[in-house]
């Protein structure tokens, strides 16, 4: 009789207990489901942060000396960027390049693929102070543009070390039309011995502090704008690189023209272009190198959806062969002129999305002087490619 009473009690209470547990579980699940993935306290912070996928992808047909070589799809640029405000006066910016090898550098201890990783402090509307891995504020509109907007760089930019660790300060004049910037940076990301053939540089000592000083002026005069800079890079004891960039822009109505003049004098061949020529005769690191560049871009905005453009560039390389067994060059010491030309069209299919479809013809000609041909074994080359693709700084967040 007692066993029957116990069994009856279990049958009556078990469904109630099971129902209570089920109700409790449902209540807990509902509470979890109703909580946001990102806490409310963090949502205000995220509203001040942008995540941007900077992309340039194309299908290109490549030709060398007029002979068809190949066709392929290429991800020319993919740089993921995160930037925003973490305080009323503190900002950050991070951009990493997925089209470059991830190799920490010996000088700054950060991956070469990382373009930007810095904090900026704005104490007021006029001053900005920043530190971290920065873009050297070199001046010139070619270099100042988002990298995905460039279809081909001029030589003097293509072979430069553009992103360096250091600190800077900017001052905006009260007229809000003129800004001045001063940066102090590492002059390179890799060590002196990694960059130069030190056995071919007797008597030259590595600098204890290989620094770069960059001064920049951005001016706005209505239709005319300037982006000028002067830089001094210390490569070794008593060995320097002087770099000057004068960027000019005129914009009116449907038309825009940009012109950059760039000049670099290098005690040691920092770009490495001329060293590539002299390596043929056993001189792995050239001295007394000089580069000069002219770059122009013309834009004709036919409408809000179509833009016709043309980019032209001319890069000259000079070298004085003193102290070598080679004969003296002519009075100019010129070795090569690199020509570039890029006609193209850009179409913006969407009104509220910064995405464009482009078609371009990118040509490069390298013309060597008689001195370079006879003494360095160089020969003229001509190559070009036809590309169609898309460009977008796609805002994800």
Average pLDDT by consecutive 10-residue portion of the chain (397 residues)? 45 45 45 58 75 97 96 97 92 94 90 96 96 95 96 95 96 95 96 85 88 97 97 94 98 96 96 94 92 98 96 97 85 94 97 94 97 96 98 92
**What does the pLDDT read at residue 20?**
46
**What does the pLDDT read at residue 202?**
80
**What does the pLDDT read at residue 149?**
96
**What does the pLDDT read at residue 111?**
93
Collect all residues with Cβ–Cβ distance below 8 Å to 229 and sequence separation of at least 6: 137, 138, 139, 140, 214, 215, 216, 217, 243, 244, 245
**What does the pLDDT read at residue 86?**
87
Collect all residues with Cβ–Cβ distance below 8 Å to 88 and sequence separation of at least 6: none
DSSP E strand boundaries for the chain? 49-64, 67-87, 90-97, 114-121, 127-135, 163-172, 178-186, 211-221, 224-236, 239-252, 255-268, 287-301, 306-319, 334-347, 356-368, 381-395
Note whether 84 and 48 are within 8 A (CB).
yes
Dist. CA 281–CA 262, nearest whole Å = 29
Answering whether pTM is above 0.85, one says yes
**Helix spans in the chain (H):** 2-34, 40-46, 141-144, 155-158, 192-195, 273-278, 370-376
Note whether 91 and 85 are within 8 A (CB).
yes
């Amino acid at each position: 009789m007692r066993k029957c009473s116990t069994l009856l009690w279990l049958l009556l209470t078990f469904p109630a207990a099971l129902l209570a547990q089920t109700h409790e579980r449902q209540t807990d699940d509902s509470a979890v489901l109703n909580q946001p993935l990102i806490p409310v306290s963090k949502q205000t912070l995220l509203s001040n942060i942008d995540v941007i996928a900077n992309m340039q992808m194309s299908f290109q047909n490549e030709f060398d000396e007029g002979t068809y070589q190949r066709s392929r799809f290429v991800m020319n640029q993919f740089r993921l960027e995160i930037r925003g405000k973490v305080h009323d006066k503190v900002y950050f910016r991070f951009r990493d390049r997925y089209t470059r090898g991830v190799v920490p550098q010996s000088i700054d201890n950060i991956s070469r693929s990382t373009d930007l990783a810095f904090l900026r402090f704005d104490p007021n509307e006029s001053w900005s102070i920043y530190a971290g891995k920065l873009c050297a504020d070199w001046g010139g509109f070619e270099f100042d543009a988002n990298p995905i907007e460039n279809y081909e760089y001029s030589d003097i930019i293509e072979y430069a070390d553009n992103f360096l660790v250091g600190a800077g300060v900017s001052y905006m004049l009260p007229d809000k039309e003129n800004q001045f910037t001063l940066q102090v940076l590492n002059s390179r990301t890799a060590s002196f011995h990694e960059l130069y053939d030190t056995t071919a540089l007797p008597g030259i000592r590595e600098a204890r502090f290989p620094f770069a000083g960059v001064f920049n002026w951005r001016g706005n005069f209505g239709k005319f704008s300037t982006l000028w800079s002067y830089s001094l890079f210390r490569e070794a004891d008593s060995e320097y690189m002087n770099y000057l960039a004068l960027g000019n822009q005129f914009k009116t109505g449907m038309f825009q023209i940009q012109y950059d003049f760039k000049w670099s004098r290098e005690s040691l061949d920092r770009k490495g272009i001329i060293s590539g020529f002299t390596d043929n005769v056993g001189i792995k690191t050239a001295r007394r190198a000089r580069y000069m560049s002219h770059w122009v871009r013309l834009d004709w905005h036919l409408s809000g959806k179509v833009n016709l453009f043309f980019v032209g560039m001319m890069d000259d390389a000079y070298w004085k062969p003193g102290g070598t067994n080679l004969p003296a060059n002519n009075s100019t010491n010129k070795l090569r002129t690199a020509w570039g030309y890029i006609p193209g069209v850009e179409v913006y299919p969407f009104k509220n999305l910064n995405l464009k479809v482009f078609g371009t013809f990118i040509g490069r000609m390298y013309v060597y002087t008689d001195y370079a041909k006879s003494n360095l074994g160089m020969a003229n080359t001509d190559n070009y490619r036809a590309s169609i693709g898309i460009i977008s700084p796609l805002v994800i967040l």
